[in-house]
Structure 1
Amino acid sequence: MRVDRVRLRNFKCYGDADLSLDRGVTVVHGVNGSGKSTLLEAVFFALYGSKALDDRTLDDVITTGEEDAEIELWFAHDGRSYRVERELKLRGDRAVTTKCVLETPDETIEGARDVRREVRTLLRMDADAFVNCAYVRQGEVNKLIHASPSDRQDMIDDLLQLGALEDYRERASDARLGVKSVLDGRREVLENLRTQVENKESQDLHEQLNDLESRRRELSAEIDRFEDQREQARETLEAAEDVLDRHEETRTEIETLESEIEELREKIAETEREREDTKDEIRSLEERRTKLAAERDELLEGADLDLVDPDRDAIDDRIETLEARDEELRDDLEDVRVAITEKNGEIDRLREEAADLESDAAEARTEAADLESQLSADEEAIDERETKLDDLESEIETARASFDDASVEVGDAADHLADLEAEREALTDEIGDVTADIRTAENAIEDGETLLEEGKCPECGQPVEDSPHVDVLDEKREQLAELEDRRDELQREREELDERIERAEALREAERRIDRLADNRDNLEQLLAEKRETVAERREQCERLRESAAEDERDAEAKRNEADALEESVAETRTGLGEINTERGEIRGDLETLERLAEIADERADLAGEAETLRERRADWETMNDERREQLSAKRDRKRELESEFDEDRVEAARDDKQNAESYIEKVDEKLSALEERRDEVQGRIGRVEEKLEDLERLRDRLEAAERRCEKLESLYEEAETLQATYGDLRAELRQRNVETLERLLNETFDLVYQNDSYAGIDLDGDYRLTVYQKDGEPLDPEQLSGGERALFNLSLRCAIYRLLAEGVEGTAPMPPLILDEPTVFLDSGHVTRLVSLVESMRGLGVEQIVVVSHDEELVGAADSIVRVEKDATSNRSRLERGEPPEAALLAPE
């Protein structure tokens, strides 16, 4: 596997960062706290998400003060390219993943869980395995050396992930105990079921059931016999009831016929009375028609209507003619009224317009007077602005005079000041770097003097005796003196530069004053021109206002004259209204007479129709009575026929049969009720016995199931015991195999680093005890090694564990990138070269990509590529810069 590129936005201390990683050795260089390790955390987070955050949460990932973050990672695995992208966003007070995508050569996978599952399958390791395998953290290696054998065993087991087998063994033990607990409970249930089955079987339930069923059959036979006798009694009862019902129906029908006969007689008499009443009503209608004809003749004689024939059509024609004339007169009347209204409206309009014109003329003369009073004030303002314009010209010339002896022209002061400030910033950075070097040298001298007082070498920490490095303090003191002289010189240069900046700032301020004065002058000139134009416009406006006032006064006079003429015309029009109203009154009188004549004609026609209707009704009633007389004769014949069929003796015999049958049925019902109760009782006892038999069968089934369950639990308990022992044996076997492989890899790695005659080899026993053998066979504890050798031994051990984790016992797994975090903490300059050899050996063993995180300048020259990390003190944001190491060839493959 190889990391190709990582891009960050708002990830922890990075605002925007984009880094490409190459094959070979890459050194990530920067001071402590600059954000070097954050780059590695971003790679792990892109692959495994929240599982790579240890005890932190997603909220810690987003840069403080931002709302979202984005991480992209491009990597290669097994010769194929992949890209994973994650986006986070703050929602309220917590962060959530809003996008998680893994692009593979075959498909695109979305969702945090699915992506993490695919990465784990692809790389064949989870987040913990990846970090433990690829990432050599600062400080963790030292724990392996300083730890006791048992602690070292646990730590290496954890690194080799053998601790999971112990977890599995403990889980198997917990499972075995759990199965034992369940098995004991099931055995108690089994014994309880056996006791219940034995109790049920001792009750002879089948014999009880047979006795009860025999008793039920006897009762059922007796019930059937009584039910047959009751059925015969019911048949006798039904026959008697049928005779009595027919007798009752005949008697009821005779009574009904008598009622219907009487009703028909009454209806015939009532209809005859109605015929006589209708004859009188017809006579009354004829009399009313005669009176209406007399009233019509009187109206015709009293009115001059010019009617040749007073029928309804002639009356309607005459009404239509008069209404048409009345409509014509109404239209004429309306035309006259409209003409008068329009003329009155025109008169009002003309007088209003005349008043408006006179008002406009007065306002125009007032406005002209106001404008004349403003003209004098405008002329005084023009004089004041011309004086102020001369003063601004003088001030501009005075400000320009400050550039007469300066080294820059007007307009170049800003650029000149920026150049000086940039020069001071660079000088301040250089002073800060020199000051940091002075503090480093002072700390190194102080640490060396402390070691020297203790009788140890100030460079490597070993006893001073026979050490060639005791003069290193003098070199460091000379270096400190040179750095202090350089800092003093730089500070003097910065003081001189501050004075030049102060003069440049004064020129810049003068330049700004010139710009402000020039802007004021241009504005004032523009205002002066606008004011002059305003004065000319106001003079013209005064003349226009006076001319408009005179014209409005002339128009007002003309409109008043026109209104007076219209008032005379309206008086003449009103005289024609009286003639029209007189003629319309005569027409309305004639129309009222004609409308009454029409009503009389309609009433006479209605009366004639009503009389004819009554005559037809009298004829219908006569026909109806004839039909009723025929029905009356038929009903009398039917009544005589029914009376002849009536037999009292037969009816009395039927009454006796009914009474005897009802008495017998009542007695039989009581007997049957008692027998059915006894049968139901027996049936209930049978049901209870059958329920007990069903319970017995269910208990037997449960007993068999409980026996099978106990057998399975006993088998499972034995399997759990076997599994527990298997995990323990497997852990011991794998530990021994790993110890053998790790010892071999450790010796190979240590030989590559120490290619001399100092040490013969390293022994790692089954309890993870480490022993270093010198060439003379003398054993050494790793604690007895010098500081630099001990640190290098630790790194060799960690790299051997990396090889074991990456390759596997069989040597088939792919090698992920190897990451070394601050490996030179305990190394002197002599051992750094051996560290380079160690890194070179790992690349020779097939590690395609190695990333070294360090703040040590000595390691920078030994890299294929350099990534420098710096943090801005103002924004607290880290930034990346790619660089080529001066001695990249040291790690190049041969």
Structure 2
Amino acid sequence: MKFREIRLENFKCYADAELRLDEGVTVIHGVNGSGKSSLLEACFFALYGSKALDDRTLDDVITNGAEDAEIELAFDHGGEAYRIERRIRFSGERAQTAKCVLEAPDETIEGARAVRGYVADLLRMDAEAFVNCAYVRQGEVNKLIHASPSDRQDMIDDLLQLGKLEEYRERASEARLAVKDVLSELRGNVDEIDGQIEAKEEKGLHEQLNELESERNETTAEIERIEDQLDTARETKESAEEILEEFEEKREEIDELADDVEELEETIRETESERDRLKERLAETRERRDDLREERDELLVAARDAEDLDADASASDSDGDDGLVEAVEDALDELRDADEQLRDELETLNVEIQEHASDAENARDRADELEATAAEKRDEADELEADLEDDEATLAERREKLDDIDDEIEAAKDRFDDAPVAFGDAEAHREELREQKADLEDDLADVRAELQTARSKVEEAEALLDEGKCPECGQPVEDSPHVDALADDRERVEELDAERDELAAELEAVESDLDTATELVEAEREVAQLEENRDSVERLIDERETALEDRRERVEQLREAADEHDADAEAKREDAADAEDRADERREEIAEINAERGDLRERRDRLESLADTLDDLDDVESEIEDLREKRTAKADLNDERRERLSEKKERKRDLEADFDADRVEEARSEKQRATKYIEQAESTLEKLREERDDLIDRIGGVRNELDELESLRERREQLVERRDALDSLYEEAEELQETYGDLRAELRQRNVETLERMLNETFDLVYQNDSYSHIELDGEYELTVYQKDGEPLDPEQLSGGERALFNLSLRCAIYRLLAEGIEGAAPMPPLILDEPTVFLDSGHVAQLVELVGSMRDLGVEQIVVVSHDEELVGAADAVVHVRKDPTTNRSTVERGETPALLAE
């Protein structure tokens, strides 16, 4: 499998990015925090969706401030092309998947869950397996070594598909136990059914059924006889009830008619009273009309005298006041137009006043600002002049410090005048002396050990001589050829003792020279530090001199600017006085216009009063006409009510003449007798029906028991057949469970051996030193590192860099095992390393480069490494640069021309 292209829009720190990935080793390079890892997270998210987010949510995927994000990944797998497109969009307060489509060679898969399942089946690994095998995420390089043995075993077994065998074995075990439980239950059920069949056969169910059916038939016949008599009684009762209901309806109609007659008579009286009240209101309204006519005439005279109306227009004709109303409205319109014109002139003048006032205020404010600015600039110039003296003093002190540093450098170099080496060679000289010291210490230790052995041999020989025995063989010394060897051993002790003293003296002299060499190295370092300090002081002096010149120029500029601001402020205050004079002129014009508007308002109020009076007069005339019409309508309505009253009285007399009290009493007696019989018959029927229902229930119970007896016999036959089948199935499940267990153990052992071999090959390739001999992996995936001396080490005891390389080697070995084990059926995904150099020093980074190169040589088609380390770039076939804009906080990607260019 190979990634071909990834396209991002509003994904995390990427607003819009597109990247092509080729075969071979690709290094994604950039500074920390630039967004390198987000590119790999986008590929992982495209494949597995929310399962790739760990504890994060879809909200974290979308760029801050954006509403949606798009991720599109194109990849090849098994020689076929695939493309996944995901769109995440905010819906309310949470982000949700708006689109998820996978374009496969032969079909299209839609939906986040369906796509994730398809990818897991295609790659034969879910999201967790992907990060345990092919994707070494940032900070998780030590994940496998930190895992417990059981967790590590589960991870690797799942990757090697052995977890399926354990799942199948557990299923077979569960099936076997389930069959066993069912068998136990079945055997108990057969015994229970046998007891139930025996108990039911002892009851004599067929005899019970015959007796109960005879009793039921007799009870049913009695019920039918009583029901016939009950129907006759009900018919009698219904006939009596119809007669009583008929006379009750007539009684109710008579009562209703009496109420209607009374209500109509009352309504007629109330309507006549209402007509009297309308007559009184009509007289009052006519009086109000006369008053309004007098008021209208008075207002007309006043308007004519004020010449608000023409004499012809102010005269009312005999046909009404319509012409007068129109003349008043025309005069009011003329007055309103004149007032509107004056108001417009006022608004214009007010605007001009505001503008002049604003101009004056702005000019005064600007003058204040200019004067304040001038004062600030003079203050700043005074402060700068005061600082100039302090800076010049500081500059003199630094020049004196520069002379002192030169004296110290010269004094440090003078220490090399009588030294055995020249200035600059002290470090090499000290290293040479350290090597001499180490050699002398080794030689001295060897001599001391040999001296100790020789002295022990002499002491033992002298003790044997004192006892009269040979120091070589322990036999009596008489005529022994070995007696002379003791003298040689004593001579050897003296030689070793002298050699020891000589070596000790040489070591002491070298140690003294080493102390001197160390002092010279410190002197060289002191000189280097002093020269660095001297350069810093020189830079500070140059910077201070430049700053002093700039400040002098700044003081002169500030004082000139302050004078210019004072002159501008004076001009602004003169502008403000001119604007205030223009505003006062406009205020006088406004006073004249307001007086004219007051006169117009009096004339308009007089005409509006006349118009209101004319409107009121018209309303009164309408009200008089309306009262006349209402009075006539109420008279017509009472005439109709009197006709209905006469009809109802006649109907009431006819109903009262047709009422027969004897017939009603006879109907009540028949209803009472029929009701009493019905109650007695229904009580008897209820008891008989209960008896019949009980018999039916008992018959049903007996029949049910007979059915149950037959069902129990059939059930027993079925259970016996099923029991026999489950006995055979139990044996098959037990055999299948053992087969899966044996197969898993055998495959695990084979995989452990292969993984151990590949792990050692990879670790030896990238970690070539004499400290470790090999790595051992047992059947439970417990890892042990052996030193050259055979001492076992837990991987946790390795240094940080060694432990990181160890884990990377383990990951690569697992990757190789998976690739070789299922090659052709499920091509492996790219090998992805996200910031693998976090725990590595420069030496270990070089070994990581060797590891990457070896995986490429072993046939891994695509390797993607994310790192800010320059050393990894040399192993790359392609380089991708990631940069983040500090202003927008958005990242961009671009492919580098050649890895060599970046390395330079």
User: TM-score w.r.t. structure 2 length?
Assistant: 0.50
1:535 to 517, 537, 548: 548
Which runs of structure 2 are paired with 1:559-598 in the superposition (5 Å)? 559=572, 574-598=587-611
- In structure 2, the CA distance between the partners of 1:225 and 1:415, relative to structure 1 (3 Å rule), is farther
Alpha-carbon separation, structure 2, partners of 1:410 and 1:526: 26
Q: Determine which of 396, 400, 409 is the counterpart of 2:409.
A: 396
Superposition CA RMSD, Å: 5.9
- Per the alignment, residue 288 of structure 2 pairs with 288
Q: Does 1:88 align with 2:144?
A: yes
User: Can you list the C-alpha shifts for 1:726-760, whole angstroms capped at 9, x where unaligned?
Assistant: x9xxxxxxxxxxxxxxxxxxxxxxxxxxxxxxxxx
Shift of 1:554: 4.5
Distance 1:718 1:544 in 2: 105
Alignment-derived partner of residue 244 in structure 2: 244
**Equivalence for 1:114:** 164
Q: Secondary structure of the residue that 1:226 maps to in structure 2?
A: helix
Cα distance in 2, alignment partners of residues 536 and 717 from structure 1: 104
1:399 CA drift (Å): 3.4
The 1:817/1:305 distance shift into structure 2, 3 A limit, reads closer
User: Aligned match of 2:341 in 309, 328, 353?
Assistant: 328
- Aligned partners of 1:322 and 1:587 also within 8 Å: yes
| CA spacing shift, 1:434–1:631, aligned 2, 3 Å | farther
Change (3 A) 1:344 1:703: closer
Q: Find 1:316's aligned residue among 317, 329, 334.
A: 329
Q: 1:511 to 1:321 in 2, by over 3 A?
A: farther
Equivalent of residue 308 in structure 2, options 306, 309, 328:
306
Report 1:80-159 matches (<5 A).
88=144, 90=146, 95=151, 100=156, 111=161, 113-114=163-164
Q: Is the 8 A contact 2:444 2:504 kept in 1?
A: no
Cα distance in 2 for residues equivalent to 1:428 and 1:290: 148
Distance 1:381 1:286, change over 3 A: same
Structure 2: gaps spanning 5 or more residues: 1-137, 315-323, 458-488, 739-744, 758-785, 810-846, 848-904
- 1-side partners of 2:536 and 2:198: how far apart? 120
Query: Structure 2: how far apart are the matches of 1:276 and 1:818?
Result: 121
**Residue matched to 2:675:** 662
Kindly indicate whether residue 670 of structure 2 is the aligned counterpart of residue 676 of structure 1: no
2:37 aligned partner: none
CA contact (8 A) 2:285 2:620 kept: yes
TM-superposed CA distance for 1:612, in Å, is 3.1
1:227 aligns with 2:231: no
1:589-614 CA-to-partner distances (Å, cap 9, x unmatched) read 22222222222122222223333333
SS in 1 for 2:144: strand
| 1:517 paired residue among 524, 527, 530 | 530
Aligned residue for 1:382?
395
Q: Which structure has the larger Rg over C-alpha atoms?
A: 1
Distance change (3 Å), C-alpha of 1:429 and 1:95: farther
Q: How does 1:431-580 map to 2 (within 5 A)?
A: 505-559=518-572, 574-580=587-593
Give the AA of the match of 1:114: K
Residue 230 of structure 1, CA deviation: 0.7
Residues 261-295 of structure 1, C-alpha deviations (whole Å, 9 max, x = no match): 44444444544444454344334333322321211
Q: Is the 8 A contact 1:257 1:639 kept in 2?
A: yes
Inter-partner Cα distance in structure 2 for 1:627 and 1:516: 130
Q: Flag structure 1 segments of 5+ consecutive residues without an equivalent.
A: 1-65, 71-86, 103-108, 121-167, 446-476, 728-804, 807-812, 821-852, 858-868, 882-894
Q: Could you tell me how far apart the structure 1 residues matched to 2:538 and 2:729 are?
A: 107
Partners in 1 of 2:431 and 2:406 — Cα distance? 29
Which stretch of the first structure deviates more once superposed, 493-502 or 513-522?
Answer: 493-502
User: C-alpha deviations, 1:321-354, integer Å up to 9, x for none?
Assistant: 3233333334444555555555555555555555
Q: In 2, distance between residues paired with 1:659 and 1:719? A: 84
Residue identity opposite 2:618 in structure 1: A
Identity rate, percent? 39
What CA distance in whole angstroms lies between the structure 2 residues aligned with 1:855 and 1:353?
88
Amino acid across the alignment from 2:545 = R
Distance in 2 of aligned mates of 1:854 and 1:331: 105
Relative to structure 1, the CA distance from residue 428 to residue 612 in structure 2 (aligned partners, 3 Å threshold; closer, same or farther) is farther
Distance in 2 between the 1:644 and 1:374 partners? 134
Contact 1:264–1:628 (8 Å) recurs in 2 = yes
Indicate conservation of the 8 Å contact 1:354/1:557, yes or no.
yes
2: CA distance between counterparts of 1:429 and 1:97?
50
Aligned AA for 1:240?
A
Where does 1:664-743 land on structure 2 (aligned, <5 Å)?
664-683=677-696, 685-686=698-699, 689-690=702-703, 693=706
1:599 is the counterpart of 2:599: no
CA distance in 1, matches of 2:188, 2:386: 123
Change (3 A) 1:614 1:505: same
3-state secondary structure, aligned to 1:306: coil
Please state how far the C-alpha of 1:218 moved relative to its aligned partner. 0.8
Contact 2:157 2:163 in 1 (8 A): no
Aligned residue pairs total 560
**CA distance 1:684–1:322, change in 2 (3 Å):** same
Per-residue deviation, residues 843-878 of structure 1 (Å, max 9, x unmatched): xxxxxxxxxx99799xxxxxxxxxxx9x98998879
Matched letter for residue 260 of structure 2: E
What's the CA shift for 1:227?
0.8
For 2:276 and 2:678, the matched residues in 1 are separated by: 66
TM-score by length of 1: 0.50
Partner of 2:309: helix, strand, or coil? coil
Q: Distance in 1 between matches of 2:266 and 2:683?
A: 57
8 Å CA contact 2:237–2:671 kept in 1: the answer is yes
In structure 2, distance between residues paired with 1:207 and 1:579: 130
CA distance in 2, matches of 1:498, 1:305: 135
* Contact preservation (8 Å) 1:187, 1:710: no
**Cα distance change, pair 511–629 in 1 and its aligned pair in 2 (3 A):** same
